Amino acid sequence: MLISKRKYYRNFYIAMMVVGLLLFISGSIANNYMFHINVIDKICKYALICEAVIIAMVIAVILLKYGGIKKYTAHALLLESVERNLMSVGAYIKRENKVYVELPKIKMKDGVIKIALSNLKIRTIIERYLDTFSTALPDRYIVEDYYISQNNAEVIIIYEDIKTYKPEEYSLAEYKQKIESMNLLDLYFDRKHILNVNDYPHFLISGSTGSGKSYFANELVIQAIIKGWQVVICDLKRSYGLYKGFTDYSYEIDDILVKLKSVEAEMNLRMKKLQPELDKNPKTLAVDIGYKPMLVVIEEYISLQASLDKKQKEELERVVKNISVLARQSNIHMIIVLQSAGTENINSTTRSNLTKVLLGNAQSNILSATFGTGVDLPCVNTKLSKGQGLIALDRITILRVPKITDMENFKEVVDCGAVG
């Protein structure tokens, strides 16, 4: 059985302390009952005091460095799991006449594990078995990302401790203040995901009933209103009534189709006005020439499709596809909300232009339908709560939607004025 150098010496020192403690205690007892030699009694007592001081110092160091015995234990278990994974794939050096193996240097701090790749043999093995780190940690941890650094000097594992994770929670006033401090084109998904819509212009939010997908879409609508964007909501189930007067809100089928066509016309108009500037600078955006960003939310997209006849459905798919392909530079940004993001429910071209978010727990077939096959998914060994899920950016990572405690006070707190 393999043992790491760190664990070998740890066990050695613990064994020495225990043996010494037993020897001094047994020596003191034997002296009291058999020999009655004062010098032996004093030696045993002083030795016990020294051991007690050493143990106290070790405990003090643990308390100062790790903030408590529980945190130290969790740290030790986490470190041991990483070492065990390295040994299982053969990423170690075994020297002659040594009972232990030498592992690469491991650093752990603030949810990040760094494994040094200073040895060529170890680097080659780790590169081959890099995926094993997605499931290497104990169940209380979620591996959000793992990769080799750009300079190839270390493996970086980003993880989260479920037991110590504190969900984000804001009053609406606090949330408003946070959003107002951000860039005009940034959207706040959670503390680890602040996305610029120039880079991620459109979103596909999916999840089963009760997963929090509409709640998340509501938060993005609130952000857009706070930032002074134009907001268009197409909502058959009429769940966004809180924002009437602040948005252009359609909930009848015919009105929704008309509204989406008007968005397409607005996109074409903006692009026409933008063209002279694009000839000078191809990175120019509609906001650069005075247009407000626009957020278009289409709720329950599958239900909307099912409510249309064949001709209407084809027209809906055409308009939505055009917006997904062409609207970024005109600063028109679309969110489609549905239960399942498979290609049978949404045009493949449209789907490929949307950043995918999947909330709630999902079976492997749903994960494949949403993100595709052969992709690296974070290892989630626990049940996700409402508003928690996955988002596909450069990599697929864990998303945790913040909670707004008093969203029903929207009209009183968000004083943006009604949309004309």
| Tens-digit pLDDT profile for residues 132-174 | 887 788 878 878 778 888 888 999 998 888 777 778 999 999 9
pLDDT score for 420? 40
Query: What is the rounded average pLDDT of the residues 307-327?
Result: 94
pLDDT digits 0-9 by tens, 18-51: 877 777 677 667 766 676 666 666 776 777 788 7
Query: How many folded domains does the chain comprise?
Result: 2
Structure-model confidence comparison of residues 257 and 141, the more confident one: 257
Enclosing H/E stretch for 7: helix 5-30
pLDDT score for 177? 93
Q: Are residues 9 and 107 in the same domain?
A: yes
Structure-model confidence comparison of residues 42 and 414, the more confident one: 414
Residue 419 pLDDT class (50, 70, 90 cuts): very low
Q: Are residues 406 and 266 in the same domain?
A: yes
Q: Are residues 154 and 185 in the same domain?
A: no
Query: What is the rounded average pLDDT of the residues 234-253?
Result: 90
In a domain? residue 418: no
**Domain around 385:** 169-413
Q: Are residues 186 and 264 in the same domain?
A: yes
In angstroms, what is the C-alpha Rg of the chain? Answer: 30
Mean of per-residue pLDDT scores for the chain: 87
Structure-model confidence comparison of residues 295 and 343, the more confident one: 295
Q: Are residues 87 and 214 in the same domain?
A: no
Query: What is the rounded average pLDDT of the residues 196-223?
Result: 94
User: Three-state SS string across 128-144, please?
Assistant: HCHHHHHHCCCCCEEEE
Q: Are residues 111 and 210 in the same domain?
A: no
pLDDT score for 37? 64
Q: Are residues 155 and 178 in the same domain?
A: no
The CATH number of the domain holding residue 282 is: 3.40.50.300
Last residue of a domain, one of 112, 134, 161: 161
pLDDT score for 33? 66
- With 0.85 as the threshold, say if the pTM is over it: no
Structure-model confidence comparison of residues 185 and 368, the more confident one: 185
In a domain? residue 419: no
Q: Are residues 331 and 190 in the same domain?
A: yes
Residue 270 pLDDT class (50, 70, 90 cuts): very high
Q: Are residues 232 and 331 in the same domain?
A: yes
In a domain? residue 350: yes
Q: Are residues 315 and 270 in the same domain?
A: yes
Last residue of a domain, one of 161, 188, 203: 161
